[in-house]
Structure 1
């Protein structure tokens, strides 16, 4: 049977200070989409509220705006997918083999407390499916608990956008919290690459996490290998 992937994208288009735009980091979606497409997997998009997913402006600039991102951005059919993402309530978790949380700073605001996304993630994980995140996508697992009440990430190896990378990206004063620190508070065994902004992914059973935008392809390849 064809494997099915559920991509999660944000609905939030700015930081707490509305004069600073943010949104989906496009290449974190497009790089993974290409890997899964090459494997013949079926793919769908969901967001915390359903509907449009705005794009992070910085993801549309060099060097982040690469061939993959440009092709998606120039394709009306693919852009339409980002205008019409599904609501979690309309998703049957049993239909999917993996869930993949994309990043961009918008996710820091709407991923953590989405009960619908938490339920989907828990159900996929508990039946042996794959839960994957890249960059800030791991915000989507901050408050996700398993049926026994424990955090999904507790005592599991996890990576994601590091606080050092927030500082180097110049947004440490804009972000609503330090997600690396919050992950550690939930018992995750956080790790990161020695150098910032280089590809890095961690696999702990069926939990697959990537550190930053450059990690989307390697993260998706790990997911594909497990599937």
Structure 2
């Protein structure tokens, strides 16, 4: 069994000097849950190559981040992510879109990532995403031409959370609004920044960074324990 972990390459905000990139725990916490089942993984990003990390996500004392950042194999894959055109979707039973604000720019319109997602889903695999990574699902269509997320229960980074981090003016769109516009049935935790996931058959989404581990746990449960 193998998982494809999708990460952003985008680092720049329109006006803020700080850099964005992958929110590290959204990769490490998710994979930490899969690793117990010996699930192999690859990183893929829109451009391939090294995956930038949002510096704010490295500062926090996080034992899971520490564990994986000192793991040579994990580091090697993070430095050499694959390009979407190098991926054979038949090799993967799980796709997972990590977040970080950068995903808002380089996930939604990547046609190759969309076709990989469609293939994995239509061949019985799991599709999962967390926080801003849910943006990667916005424009996925199924083989019959219908929107993948229309009428599905989903969550993702909320408008309120975007306001709290003071980045609502920087992002190209608000994810909560975009999901609703695509016909998704959006829900969120009552309190911002609490762990929250939504499950709709073989689609698992998480609201914010604290939800990544729960997404991983649910994906494992759906794959192995049914």
TM-score band, normalised by the shorter chain?
Answer: over 0.9
CA–CA separation in structure 2 for the residues paired with 1:105 and 1:172: 11
CA–CA separation in structure 2 for the residues paired with 1:139 and 1:88: 16
CA–CA separation in structure 2 for the residues paired with 1:183 and 1:4: 28
Tell me the equivalent position of 2:108: 112
CA–CA separation in structure 1 for the residues paired with 2:73 and 2:39: 18
- TM (norm. structure 2) is 0.95
CA–CA separation in structure 2 for the residues paired with 1:32 and 1:39: 12
Whether 1:173 and 2:169 are equivalent positions in the alignment is: yes
Higher mean displacement: 67-76 or 117-126: 67-76
Structure 1 residue 97 displacement after superposition = 0.5
Tell me the equivalent position of 2:144: 148
- Can you list the C-alpha shifts for 1:6-53, whole angstroms capped at 9, x where unaligned? 100011112233623100000000001111001111111111111111
Alignment partner of 1:80: what SS? Answer: helix
Structure 1 residue 76 displacement after superposition = 4.5
- TM (norm. structure 1) is 0.95
Q: CA RMSD in A?
A: 1.2
Tell me the equivalent position of 1:207: 203
Tell me the equivalent position of 1:39: 37
Match of 1:191 among 187, 192, 203: 187
CA–CA separation in structure 1 for the residues paired with 2:57 and 2:93: 28
Tell me the equivalent position of 1:55: 53
CA contact (8 A) 1:16 1:176 kept: no
Which structure 2 segments of 5+ residues have no match? none
Number of aligned positions between the proteins: 223
Tell me the equivalent position of 1:220: 216
CA–CA separation in structure 1 for the residues paired with 2:40 and 2:193: 29
CA–CA separation in structure 2 for the residues paired with 1:92 and 1:35: 24
- Can you list the C-alpha shifts for 1:44-93, whole angstroms capped at 9, x where unaligned? 1111111111000110122xx40111233344442221110001111111
Structure 1 residue 206 displacement after superposition = 0.3
CA–CA separation in structure 1 for the residues paired with 2:99 and 2:114: 16
Alignment partner of 1:214: what SS? Answer: helix
Alignment of 1:5-154 (within 5 A): 5-17=3-15, 19-62=17-60, 65-154=61-150
